[in-house]
Amino acid sequence: MDTATVQTTRSICCYCGTGCGVRIHSQGGQVRDISGDERHPSNLGKLCSKGRALAATVCQDGSRILTAQWRPDRTTPRRAIALEDACDLAAARLAETIVMHGPDAVGMYLSGQLLTEDYAVFNKLARALIGTNNIDTNSRLCMSSAVSGYKLTLGADAPPACYEDVDHAETVLIAGSNMAFAHPVLFRRLEAAKASRPDMKIIVVDPRRTDTCQVADLHLPILPGTDVALFHAMLNVMVRDGLINADYIAQHTEGFEILEQRIQAFAPDTVQDICGIPAQDIVRAAHWFGGARAALSFYTMGLNQSSSGTAKNTALIHLHLATGQIGRPGTGPFSLTGQPNAMGGREAGGMATLLPGHRDPANARHRDEVARLWGVDSLPSRPGKTAIEMFDAVLEGKIKVLWIAATNPAQSLPDQAKVRAALNKAELVIVQEAFANTETLEYADLVLPAATWPEKSGTVTNSERRISRVRAAIAPPGDACPDWRLVTRIARKIAERIAPHKTALFDYENEAQIFAEHARSTAGRDLDYSALDYAILDSDGPQQWPYRPGGSHASGRSVRLYADGIFPTSSGRAHFHDTQYVPVAENISPRYPLRLTSGRMRDQWHTMSRSGLVPSLTRHVEEPCLYLHPEDMQHHGLAQGELARLRTRRGQVILPVSGDEGLRPGHAFVHMHWGSGFIAGDGVNALANKVFDPISRQPELKHSAAGIEAVDFPWHAHAWVSGQVSMLRARLRPWLRRFPYAMLVPSAIGGEGVRLRLAGPDGISSALLQDLVRDLGLDQPDALFDDPARGIVRRLTRNGDKLKAWLLTGNTRACDALLQWADSGLAPASAAQVLMGRSGPVQRARIVCTCASVTDAAINEALAQGLGLEALKTTLKCGITCGSCLPEVRRMAAERTAAIEATP
């Protein structure tokens, strides 16, 4: 390889479903930098804080799984084995299971992060060779309510709008989406549209006042789970005030009459108490939506992760159909996908309830079509298990072998106690994974080393139906191998054992061949992109589907769908449904009085296996907290930073509390990212409810009734160690299991390192303290304050003025001074005084702008000097690179203004 020249590879960001184009600049097999691809229509060169930091996530060291690993029994640690042996092992055990217990004793749990080509071969393996529909993905936790909502109303799983619609919409309704954090680049586009057309109305429906609300003209702080009532009430107002489009309803839809009956009971005056939103705000939202020339809606997990997720999607789409706000520029119900290729997975049929080409495994004709395409006699007709059901089936002993790829169910699935019981119960757990830090690996018997971004090649489809090429920029490290290659290798070995004539089904030379076969499966379907191939993608760039053969761009390809009002239903009309409002599955009670919701952090993604490798991305939120409204903190006698036990009917976690006035009183909020690799217990999803929507089978991750109590541990420890995050996390991870409260997080303080916090009862043995000291590398400290009889061990090591590590136990009040020291490199006069907690109070600043490392203190100081937002951008340089911090900076400016106005 030419080591001198910098090569630029065009690819797609591997995080959210926005699908931003990136340019990967590599040299000598190493990624040097990432920049936005100006030519990619979905982001036009922009990237968010996570995307900009992608280069730092590319690693070839112990952060990665570099070889296959195997443990013959669960009492011994896994050891590295040759990849060929691992594939043989997997094939032998799978074949044996299929023969002994039938194909449905195998379950495959995949991921929206796989490429379309990976899905295609996994799907073929499951259905055409193994003969089971037990193949599902983490998209079940993410998009399946959107899928069923689209299918029920519009006839196909197809988001009809595109990003450009932001520039044409007069009203934008954002429901159940914190776009500012979850889809920042698209949110930048919305901000720009709002700035150029201030008359544009933006409505945000969210129980929390998130940073997305910074752009909103109207925030509806809805009570969790009441979205159907809200949308019905909006439709009620539109009907009442003549804002519906009777012509559109008559010509292009059916079923409106029954819905009209239904919504009569949902007058705003009635609904305001259900939703906790004043009637006049409901009316205003309805007027803005119904009265707009073009109304667009964005929605995601707030609607989808619900026991009535399908109903919520349906009720929102009703608004578009009733007002004809679909098929035109600036209109449409737009589901934002959470993962980079959940869309591709849906297209390739990589879910229990889907077959390739948006087909249905319950439909015999569809099964026949796919069987023919694949050249097999038939496909299994027994319904496959969806995510939650799959793990239940493992627990019941029905599924014996679980093959998990590119996802982390021991963190992401709800009701972790059950999930972990299932993982323990399974006879064989195969985990195909790239990163060495996931919670699920603890349960793996066989680990397959997967290649990951930017080592893989294939395609992804983003939220606006745009298919882009993902291109490998560097080779995978060690034995790591692209997922499709692992799958086909094992598939051939299984076929040799149980159906030798099917071996050829998995003979692919490259990704292009897989894509070509997959694209053929879409022919004649709503998403038809059978005319698309790698050559076109490479020459013409990313393409939206449908991309039909022979069609001109006008008819064959569509920027937005349903312009002609014809829908892919049997009648060609879209459907209204008599959608019922059903409250959340779990109501609050005296024992569980809080409504717990969850959401994302701005700079992290999913279970942090990749984004957690970048120290700078840990700046914005430095540790897991439980957020409560200040009134609730007061009510429970909790001060900022004190520990509380949060419990639901399923599990509990102990976290420090933090006040958030953006929450409604009676609500609690946790970030969804924190698993048992970061905190004691089974992670935040130990709390979450696995009850699921009857149609989409998507669990109600977004709402639980929760109880809370202050926990007052007498003994606390707080440590910081500089060094490589992956290595330190691996070494210190056992400490998460030794205390009722524990936290181990990556940290950007002092460059790169980790922070460990522990709390528990008194009487910590000196042997345990010694172990802690040793694991932190503090047995030869440069300064110490030890009083082991009182559980106090406080130590630090330094290199000149630079701190290397420290530990505080007993009380930890010196932590701010030490964090400050570690961060600034400015040593205090006396390290001993600091360790004794006698260095006086220290106010630590928090990074708001990750790109330019601008702190909240700096921003507040500039605001105090009278600087406005534009002046902040030029003086402090915050918000001018990726812009992800802009909503927060705006909020800080607004709070400052409000504070000044409130002063008499």
Partner 1 sequence: MKKRRLVVVGNGMAGMRTVEELLRLNPGLYDITVFGAEPHPNYNRILLSPVLTGEQTLRDIVLNDLDWYEGNGITLHLGRSITQINRSRREVIADDGSVTPYDRLLLATGSSPFVLPVPGKDLKGVITFRDIRDVNLMIEAAGRLKRAVVIGGGLLGLEAANGLATRGMDVSVVHLGETLLDRQLDGTAAALLQKSLRDRGLRFLMGRQTEAILDNGQGAVGGIRFKDGTEIETDLVVMAVGIRPNTALAHAAGIHTERGIVVNDTMQTFDPAIYAVGECVSHRGIAYGLVAPLFEQAKVAANHLAMFGIGRYAGSATSTKLKVTGIDLFSAGDFLGGPHTEVITLADYMGGVYKKLVIQDGRLVGACLYGDTLDGAWYLRLIREGTSIAALREQLMSGEDADNFAGRDHVPALALQE
Residue 630 in contact with partner 1, rule: CB under 8 A: no
Among 78, 192, 786, 853, which residue sits at the site for partner 1 (rule: CB under 8 A)?
A: 786
Cβ 888 to partner 1 shortest distance, Å:
8
Stretch that binds partner 1, among 35-43, 436-444, 496-504, 804-812 (CB under 8 A): 804-812
Residue 831 in contact with partner 1, rule: CB under 8 A: yes
Determine whether 758 is exposed, middle or buried from the number of CB atoms within 10 Å of its CB (0-12, 13-18, 19+): buried
Among 836, 867, 869, 880, which residue sits at the site for partner 1 (rule: CB under 8 A)?
A: 836
Query: Could you give the string, one character per residue 564-603, with x where binding to partner 1 holds by CB under 8 A and - elsewhere?
Result: -------------------------------------xx-
Among 214, 648, 658, 820, which residue sits at the site for partner 1 (rule: CB under 8 A)?
A: 658
Stretch that binds partner 1, among 455-463, 467-475, 710-718, 876-884 (CB under 8 A): 710-718
Residue 902 tokens, joined: 């409130």
Give SS3 for 402.
Answer: strand
Determine whether 298 is exposed, middle or buried from the number of CB atoms within 10 Å of its CB (0-12, 13-18, 19+): buried
Residue 656 in contact with partner 1, rule: CB under 8 A: yes
How many chain residues are in contact with partner 1, going by CB under 8 A? 51
Residue 709 in contact with partner 1, rule: CB under 8 A: no
Q: For residues 324-340, b (16+ Cβ closer than 10 Å) or e, as one string?
A: bbbbbbbbbbbbbbbbb
Residue 631 in contact with partner 1, rule: CB under 8 A: no
Cβ nearer to partner 1, comparing 40 with 716: 716
Query: SS in 3 state form for 421-434?
Result: HHHHHCCEEEEEEC
Among 262, 606, 757, 873, which residue sits at the site for partner 1 (rule: CB under 8 A)?
A: 757
What are the angstrom distances between the C-alpha of 621 and each of 376, 566, 658?
Answer: 52, 47, 12
Cβ 257 to partner 1 shortest distance, Å:
45
Query: Would you say 451 and 118 are in contact if contact means Cβ atoms under 8 Å apart?
Result: no
Beta strands 253-254 and 574-575: pairing type?
parallel
Cβ nearer to partner 1, comparing 277 with 758: 758
| DSSP 8-state secondary structure symbol assigned to residue 139 | G
Stretch that binds partner 1, among 14-22, 452-460, 622-630, 699-707 (CB under 8 A): 622-630
Stretch that binds partner 1, among 43-51, 265-273, 440-448, 781-789 (CB under 8 A): 781-789
Rounded Cα–Cα distance for residues 671 and 665 (Å)? 18
Q: What is the sign, positive or negative, of the torsion defined by CA atoms of 694, 698, 702, 705?
A: positive
Residue 183 in contact with partner 1, rule: CB under 8 A: no
3-state helix, strand and coil shares in percent for the chain, rounded to the nearest 5: 35, 20, 45
Strands (E), 583-623: 594-599
Residue 116 tokens, joined: 């379309």
End-to-end CA distance of the chain: 70
Cβ nearer to partner 1, comparing 31 with 808: 808
Among 151, 232, 346, 716, which residue sits at the site for partner 1 (rule: CB under 8 A)?
A: 716
Query: Would you say 882 and 48 are in contact if contact means Cβ atoms under 8 Å apart?
Result: yes
Q: How many CA atoms lie within 13 A of 551 on its CB side?
A: 18
Residue 300 tokens, joined: 């995601």
Residue 621 in contact with partner 1, rule: CB under 8 A: yes
Among 383, 478, 666, 788, which residue sits at the site for partner 1 (rule: CB under 8 A)?
A: 788
Stretch that binds partner 1, among 88-96, 221-229, 353-361, 620-628 (CB under 8 A): 620-628
| DSSP 8-state secondary structure symbol assigned to residue 443 | G
Query: Would you say 413 and 141 are in contact if contact means Cβ atoms under 8 Å apart?
Result: yes
Residue 830 in contact with partner 1, rule: CB under 8 A: yes
Stretch that binds partner 1, among 270-278, 467-475, 621-629, 732-740 (CB under 8 A): 621-629
Cβ nearer to partner 1, comparing 243 with 744: 744
Tokens 């970061």 correspond to what residue?
Answer: 678
Residue 33 in contact with partner 1, rule: CB under 8 A: no
Residue 659 in contact with partner 1, rule: CB under 8 A: yes
Residue whose C-alpha is closest to residue 236's, from 306, 318, 312: 318
Residue 772 in contact with partner 1, rule: CB under 8 A: no
Query: Could you give the string, one character per residue 207-236, with x where binding to partner 1 holds by CB under 8 A and - elsewhere?
Result: ----x-------------------------
Rounded Cα–Cα distance for residues 782 and 865 (Å)? 42
Residue 634 in contact with partner 1, rule: CB under 8 A: no
Among 819, 858, 863, 893, which residue sits at the site for partner 1 (rule: CB under 8 A)?
A: 819
Strands laid side by side in the 466-470 sheet: 458-461, 466-470, 543-544
Query: Would you say 434 and 480 are in contact if contact means Cβ atoms under 8 Å apart?
Result: yes
Residue 782 in contact with partner 1, rule: CB under 8 A: yes
Per CB under 8 A, residues contacting partner 1 are 211, 601-602, 620-623, 625, 627, 639-642, 656, 658-660, 671, 713-714, 716, 718, 757, 759, 781-790, 798, 810-813, 815-816, 819, 830-832, 835-838, 844, 846
